Structure 1
Amino acid sequence: MNTQQEKKFDVGGQAVMEGVMMRSPNATAVTVRRPDGTMVTKLTPFVPLKEKHPWMGKPFIRGIINMGTMLYYGMNTLEDSTKMLGMLDEEPTKFEKWLARKLGKGIDKIVMAFAIILAVILSVVLFIAIPAGVESLLRGAGMSTIGYTLIGGLVKIMILVGYMIFCACVPEVRRTFQYHGAEHKSVHCHESSLSLTPGNAQTFSRLHPRCGTAFLLIVFAISILLFLVLNVLVPISNFFVRFLFHLAMLPIVAGVSYEVLMGLAHSNSKIARILRWPGLQMQRLTTREPDESMLECAIVSVNVVLNGIPDHAKRTPEGWAVFTDYRQSEPGYIPPVEEAAEEETDADNADADPAPEA
């Protein structure tokens, strides 16, 4: 687990329902903890877009591409986690049955697409339309360009913080925030010289400089500075024009913010530490201290995304790996005598001829 080759690239991820997704340059691994205590892992290899299209890996462009791919994989991962937990096997409601009859077998993809569209619309309204409206009102009231731009940026940050505080009040989301902390701790441990164990991972901070929460704060800071300059050079009084202008500039802001985030994350200079500090503090809202079982899920995801699913791992009918102990996900794991005997018995039973019918 602690090889130099594994440390040549960054590993990151996100918390999901009762689990953790980890992403390497060529695969994602989702691990969830089922009610029976077992951990189920799905490994999904992929070819990076920058290998298919090298221009997508260029500075600034890669930030825009990364934002889009993370949204795509993030939504797919959330859907995978609900399936792996068996939540989709529950008896559907009358409304769900009616939708299935009307929309056919593709209802899951339709519902997911609707959820994505709704989330995008909500984000645009909260973080672009409302701040742009506030800026237009303040500009109409005669406030200076610097004044209304800074207040518009402050409104964005206040909405973001308020949203995070609201989410933290929901018990299910609070538990997901614990898995978020487990993700960060396991990544810290992987990047250190220590063995990847729950005990070692627990000693690290639940805050990480490459976190998406820090990225959001950098996006807002960059957007404030960028729009401050643009508002001075190109004053816009009409709300709808201002709204469309902010929307059109979002990819540029994302591209610049990604480069800033990567630069700060991989630098240990005093200036970098100072600039990283606000983003790290923001993560106190989106992470909580995890328990050992959550760290085990995160560690399994790290092991599998780096080394693949071990040959000795048991499988579900869907092809997902099943682990009862996080150490079973390690590439050099040797099953104890009792466990090996149990697996041999299971194999013998599977190969045995069926009993004759009465």
Structure 2
Amino acid sequence: MVAFYVNRLNDIENMKRVNIGGQAVLEGVMMKGPKSYALAVRKPNKEIEVKVTNYLSLGERYKALQIPIIRGIANFLESLYIGMKTLMDSSEMLDEEENTVSGKQDVSVKESGASNTAYLVGTLIVSLVIAVGVFMLLPAFLANFLYKVTENDLLVNLAEGILRLLIFLGYVIAISFMEDIKRTYMYHGAEHKTINCMEAGDELTVENVKKHTRFHKRCGTSFVFIVMFISIVVFMFVKTDVMWMRLVSRVVLIPVIAGISYEFIRYAGKHNNVCSNVLSAPGLWVQRLTTREPDDSMIEVAIKSVEGVIDWHEYVDHVRNNSFEL
């Protein structure tokens, strides 16, 4: 389960607060810091392999992408790309270990380069097309038939939103029965608990991490759920019973909805008040489906991933002393 991460990150070297983001992958956890992201995977031989990739976010490279709404669109696309890449990388890391154990050598790995990039982009595009088709266009297509019995746009859009939520929840519940997904949900819980532990100012030990909640306001599940709600509001302003126009509007407005939703989750992640708690509540509830309590070995992997991108000892000291730069 991919976890969306708020990516407006500040340099800890200047003692500024950092929002670490991450996601669960196959038998591991990816964590993203200010200038890099780390992928930690528990290999079949029980060892933890950590792969660190230097990476400066789009918002840091292009100031125009720090503009509200636009930064959300950029972050959404960036998160999808890094998320897909780390999922594929984790799979390759596990395959490499299995090939080594069996004495096999995969010569195709040496032929990576541009072909791997093309495959990654192709996979990402196909995944996006399927996601848009199932979660955006299918509910719009089905809800459009309500115009045969009513001309109330509000009712039709509300029905579309409810259908979208039901399809999403059905998908999350259905895949949770798969063994690999169950373990990924446990790693998802380990990711959240580790970040919560660090942000609370506790040292990253297995025992400390276990004390913290597996739910987090900045989770991708919360983002997706907010997207569902925002889409209902936005689509209320698109009044048409012409099928093709309705479907096209759903695709065209996806970036706008993603941008607005990002601002909501960014606000909720930075504040602890009634408004932010109300905004976060539905997403936190859905995280009961997309996270599980991890075992100690999974928490160890999450800690190793954090250590790949940040000096958590220094970070925890700043949290305890409230000494971050403003």
Residue in 2 aligned with 1:206? 214
Instruction: Spell out, residue by residue over 1:188-220, the C-alpha distance to the aligned partner (whole angstroms, 9 max, x if none).
Output: 011012111111011111010000000001011
> Aligned partners of 1:22, 1:112: CA distance in 2, in Å?
20
Aligned ranges 1:211-226 → 2 under 5 Å = 211-226=219-234
Deviation at residue 63 of structure 1 after TM alignment: 0.4
- CA deviations over 1:151-178 (Å, ceiling 9, x no partner): 0000000010000001100011100000
Residues in 1 aligned to 2:65 and 2:135: alpha-carbon distance in whole angstroms: 27
Tell me, in whole angstroms, the C-alpha distance in 2 between the residues paired with 1:49 and 1:105. 22
| Matching of residues 1-358 of structure 1 within 5 Å | 8-87=17-96, 90=99, 108-228=116-236, 230-231=237-238, 235-307=239-311
Letter in 2 for 1:217: F
The AA in structure 2 aligned to 1:206 is R
Cα gap change, 1:7 to 1:296, in 2 (>3 Å): farther
Distance 2:259 2:85 in 1: 23
Can you give the 5+ residue segments of structure 2 that lack an aligned partner in the other structure?
1-11, 101-105, 315-326
Shift of 1:143: 4.2
More off after superposition, 67-76 vs 5-14: 5-14
Distance 2:98 2:294 in 1: 28
Q: Does the Cα contact within 8 Å between 1:22 and 1:301 map onto a contact in 2? A: yes
Letter of the 2:279 counterpart: L
Which whole-Å CA distance do the structure 1 matches of 2:44 and 2:36 have between them?
Answer: 26
Letter in 1 for 2:185: F
Deviations 1:21-52 (A, max 9, x none): 00012110000001111110001111222232
Distance 1:90 1:113, change over 3 A: farther
Task: Tell me the secondary structure at the aligned position of residue 213 of structure 2.
Answer: coil
Partner of 2:103: none
**Following TM superposition, by how much is the alpha carbon of 1:292 offset from its aligned partner in structure 2, in angstroms?**
0.4
Say which SS state the counterpart of residue 41 (structure 2) adopts. Answer: strand
Per the alignment, in what secondary structure is the counterpart of residue 268 of structure 1?
coil
Offset of residue 139 of structure 1: 1.8
CA contact (8 A) 2:29 2:188 kept: yes
TM-score (norm 2): 0.84
Residue identity matched to 1:11: I
- Alignment partner of 1:40: what SS? strand
% same residue:
35
1:276: how far off? 1.3
Further displaced range: 112-121 or 67-76: 112-121
Greater CA drift, 21-30 or 119-128: 119-128
- In the alignment, is the contact (CA less than 8 A) between 2:69 and 2:259 conserved in 1? yes
Residue 153 of structure 1 aligns to a residue whose secondary structure is helix
Q: Structure 1: how far apart are the matches of 2:56 and 2:269? A: 25
Deviation by residue 1:290-338 (Cα, 9 ceiling, x = unmatched): 000000000011111114xxxxxxxxxxxxxxxxxxxxx989xxxxxxx
The structure with more radius of gyration: 1
How far, CA to CA, are the matches of 2:25 and 2:206 in structure 1? 19
Residue 5 (structure 1) shift:
6.1
Partner of 1:325: none
